Structure 1
């Protein structure tokens, strides 16, 4: 389980989506207050759900097809988060000097990249198992 590269990618997803959004600000509002994931209930639930889905995917290491599907669901969740952040940043951009976008808005992109890498490694493992089954 731990020796597989997709497990390392999924652990990175857990760290990125479970811990990082609560240390890095997502944006600053008009009054200068930094908004973290813990300040917005929907965003914190979505980040925790992404971390839990990555953990479930690690625990499904014996069933690669289910692991692949759970990673796809996690990618869809992160795409929704990314879409929300893009919508939010378009609303913030109308205010010229009063609001700032934080680096935390890139967290779903980083998570999606690691999930794609994990799915690629899962597909490689599945192809390897199928090729070994053909030889029997």
Structure 2
């Protein structure tokens, strides 16, 4: 349902993982060339999976428990993506011939994780509300 707050949070996570990586580079090489996520297959697959999980979670609004589990999987996937970025970032700092600058695209998984955590919190709140109403019957 569009009127639920978790749908908005999930849509924000979809925009962050599906649209913004095409706009913001992960880092910039010393030659001035921007390095986008599409240049590495692992990053492209992980961003694609995260986007797919966000869409799947939005579409499964009738099954709150499944939506919650999909949100958790998406958080784990974004943590793995963030870990890969940090690993690559730490390896870049020691490079001698090509010095690079880190881009804002490396921080997109952090913002996506925040949106997914807020969505899961709202899903849990809805689930608790439904359970409390069922108890009264």
1:30 Cα shift?
A: 4.7
TM-score, normalising length from structure 1? 0.95
SS at match of 2:94: coil
2:25 aligns with 25
How large is the RMSD of aligned CA atoms in angstroms?
1.3
Q: How many residues align?
A: 136
TM-score by length of 2: 0.94
| Residue segments in structure 1 that go unaligned for 5+ positions in a row | none
Give the ranges of 4+ consecutive aligned residues of structure 1 lying more than 6 Å apart after TM superposition: none
Paired with 2:30 and 2:24, the residues of 1 have a C-alpha distance of: 18
Cross-structure match for 1:2? 2
| Aligned ranges 1:1-136 → 2 under 5 Å | 1-95=1-95, 98-136=99-137
- SS of 2:71's equivalent? helix
Offset of residue 41 of structure 1: 1.7
Give the deviation of 1:98 after TM superposition.
Answer: 1.7
